[in-house]
Chains A and B, each alone.
Chain A
Amino acid sequence: MSKERIKISDDLYDIMPSDYQDLVKSATYGKEDRGWKDIGNSKELIEQHSLCAGCPESMAFRYILASLPNPEDTVMVGSTGCTSLVFPMVAVHNIHSLFGNQNAIASGLKRALSVRFPGRTKDVVVLAGDGATVDIGLDMTLQAWFRQEKFTTICFDNELYANTGGQESGLMQKGFVAKMAPVGKLFDKVRLPEIARESGCHYVVQCTVSKPSLIEKVVRNAVMISREIGPTYLQLYTPCILEIGKNSMEGLQEMRDSEKPTERFAYKEYVSEPAKQLLAEIAAKDKEKKAAAKQLASQGA
C-alpha cells in the first residue's frame, strides 16, 4: 500500500472522522526512518484505546507501532485478551480470529501474501499475550518456528491472564498467588526465550518496555530478520498493574525494577549467525547512507 491509498476524496473529506483525516495528513506510512521519536510529532497508528489507565501494554503498543519498519505493508495478527481491545483502533490491517491460533493464522497469511505478491515485501507481525502464546497456543507458536515461518512473534508477558481477571499462566512466577493458583503457582516461569532459540528463532529478545529506543531497535531488528531469514521472537514485560496491586503511575517503575541485571527481565538477547550477518549489513548500509547525507549537507553549506 502507498499513502495514496488512504487519501480521501475531496467531496467526502468533511464527513470523514477527524482521526482518519489526521492519518492522511500526518501519519508516518512510508517514512524510512520512522521510530519512537515520531510520537508527538505525527499521527500515531493507534487511536484512543480502552486499556486501563497507566497500562504498560498501551506504551508497548505505541512504541511497536511507531517502530514497524514498513507499516504500509504490514499485517498484524492478534489473539484474544487485552490486546484484542486495542486492535480495532490500530491503523494497519489486523486479524483476530480465535484464542491461541495466532501463529497458525500468521503462517497461512504470510504464505498467501508471498504467493499473491511475489517480489514485494509484506511483513506479518504477531502480537499476543502470554496465555495465547505460551499456554493455549504453545503448539502453534513452536510449530511455526520449527517450520521457519518468516514472521515476527511478539508476546506481551504480563505473567497472568489479565483480561479474564488475573488467573495463573505459564509465564507467571513460581509461588505467585492468583486465581486458579490458590496456594501459589507450583512450577517455574516457562523459559520460552530459551525454547524459542532451540526451536529455530533467529532473533530472540526478552526485555521490558521501559525504554522506547530499545523497543524501536528490537522491533526493527526482529521484523527485518524475519523478513529475510526466519522466525523471530520478542518477549516484552508489560505488567498488569491492576492484578499485581500497583497504581496507574507505577507501571514504569515496576518495569525498571524488574529489568535490573539480577532480576527476571534483565535484557536477554540471542542472534543467530545469519541474523548477525544481516544486522551487520543493515548497519553498514545505514552508516553509508548517513555519511552520504552528511556529505550532501556539507556540500550544500
Chain B
Amino acid sequence: MADTHSVIGTKNKKGQTFTDTWKMMNEAPRTPSFYTGSEVIKEALRRASCDVMIAYPITPQSEAAALIGELFAEGYIGDYFRGESEFAVMSQCAGAAFGGARVFTTTAGPGTMRAMENFPMWSGARLPIQMIVTCRGINSPLSIQPDTLEIAYLLNTGMLVWHAETAQDFFDWILKGYMVSEEPDVHLPLALCCDGFFVTHTKDVVNLTPTDMCLPPYDPYRSPVPCMDMECPPVRMMRDPFIMKSNYISYATHASWQQEVWAAVERSRKHTIKWLNGLIETENTDAEVIIVASGTAVSQGREAIRLLEDEGIRCGLVKVKVLRPWPGEEIREATKNAKHIVVPEFNVTGWLAKEIKATIPDSDRVNAGPHVCGGMTMPPEIIASEIKTLLGMRTMSLAGRGS
C-alpha cells in the first residue's frame, strides 16, 4: 500500500499526477470554464482520486450522479454503481469507507431524510465520506424545488456541514473537503450542501484546476480507528460487549465516544479555516444593518445590498460557509456593531436565524427572514424591503394581498 505522501509526483492509471493538494488548489493555473453545477461536481470528482461512488436517482442531484458514472466508465473512479435507495446507498458508502476507500455520494431532500439513520452512524464510526446535498423540498405535498430545510436535520448528526453558495465554491470545496475530513484528528463525514437547481442547473464560469493533476490518494491507516480490511490485528475491541448493557460503564463509554465525535468536529475548525480561508466571509461589518446568510441566500443578499446602496442605505454582509463546526465566535465578532441582523433563508423554519440567535448577545437584533420555501425564489427586493421596514422606512407592497 502506497501511503499518501510517497506517491506525490507519480502518475495514476489515467496519467494524472498525484499533486500536493495545497499546490494544486492554490498555485496551479486555473482555466475558466462555463459549466452547470452538476458538471462542476463531475469535474471536481475527476481530480479527487475517488475509490468508490454510489449513486441513486433523485432530483436535482441525478445529473451529477450520472455524470460521475461517465467518469467511472472512463476509468477515473475505482467502482461505481446504483444502489436501491438512499438508506441502502448511505450504508453501502459506509461499507466502502469501513473497507478503506475514499467515498463520494450525492443526495437531495427526501433522500437525505430516508438515509438519516446512517449519518450519526457515519460520524460515530469515523468514516470520512463526502456527501453532496443538493437541497430540495422535503415535506408533503410533493415538491422537487429548492428548499434548505433538510440542512437543519444534518446539523446534529456529528457530520461536518458546509453550505456552498456558487459552483466555484463547490468545485474547490469538494477537493478541499477531503483534506479536512481525512485529517486523523477529524476523520468525519462531510455534508457539502448547496441549493438545488440554483447551483446544480445553472451555468456559471468556474475556474478549474488542470485536468492532469489529482489529489493524493486516501490513506486509510491515517485514522483514529482501525480500517476493516484485516491488514492490522483483529484485536477484540471489548472482552465483553459492555456498551450494550445498562450500567454505568456502558453509559460512560457512550458518553465519552459522543463527546469525542463532537470534539473532532471542533478540531476540524483549524483545518477548515486554513483550507477555506475562514468559516465566514464578511463585507462592511461596521454597517448598522448586516445580512447574515448561507448558500444562494448570500447571492440574493448581495443583490439587495446593491439595491439599497442606490438608495443611500449601507448594509454589511456575512457569508456563512461552514455550519459545523459552527462559526459562533466569528459571527459574534462580525455582528457586534450591528443594530439589525437580517437572516434571509430558503426554508420555512428559519434554522440559521435560530442558530445565530443562540450565538450572539442581544439576540432581539436578529430578524429571522425573509423566508421563502417550497421552491419560491427570493427576489432581492423582498430583502431590501424587509431592511427598510426595520429602519422605519416606507416600502412598496411587493406581494399584493388586497391590503
Contacts and interface: CB of A to CB of B under 8 A. Distances in A.
Interface string B155-172: 000000000000000000
Contacts of A74: 230
Contacts of B89: 104
A193 B230 CA distance: 30
A97 B83 CA distance: 18
Contact of A116 (B84, B117, B121, B229): B229
Contacts of B92: 104-105, 107-108
Contacts of A140: 84, 88, 91
Given A97-B91, A115-B101, A91 B234 contact: yes
A104 B91 contact: yes
B98 interface: yes
B84 A143 contact: yes
A101 B87 contact: yes
Contacts of B239: 17, 47-48, 89
Nearest to B231: A1
A108 B229 contact: no
B96 A97 contact: no
Given A17-B239, A84-B244, A115-B79, A77 B95 contact: yes
B79 A114 contact: yes
A81 B18 CA distance: 44
Given A1-B230, A47-B239, A111 B121 contact: no
Interface string A106-142: 1111111111110000100000000000000001100
A77 B229 CA distance: 12
B399 interface: no
Interface residues of A, number: 47
B51 A50 contact: no
A116 B100 CA distance: 8
Contact of B52 (A94, A97, A111, A139): A111
Nearest to A73: B230
Contacts of B238: 88-89
A72 interface: yes
B94 interface: yes
B257 to A, nearest CB: 14
Interface string A75-101: 101000000110111111111011001
Nearest to B77: A115
A112 B96 contact: yes
B261 interface: no
Given A105-B95, A140-B84, 16 more contacts: A1-B233, A6-B234, A89-B241, A93-B226, A94-B228, A97-B91, A97-B118, A97-B121, A108-B97, A112-B78, A112-B96, A112-B101, A115-B78, A115-B101, A122-B230, A143-B84
19 contacts: A50-B241, A74-B230, A85-B241, A88-B237, A88-B238, A88-B241, A91-B236, A95-B95, A104-B83, A111-B81, A111-B101, A112-B52, A112-B79, A112-B97, A115-B52, A116-B101, A122-B230, A140-B91, A147-B81
Q: Nearest 3 pairs between A and B by C-beta?
A: A108-B95, A112-B99, A104-B91
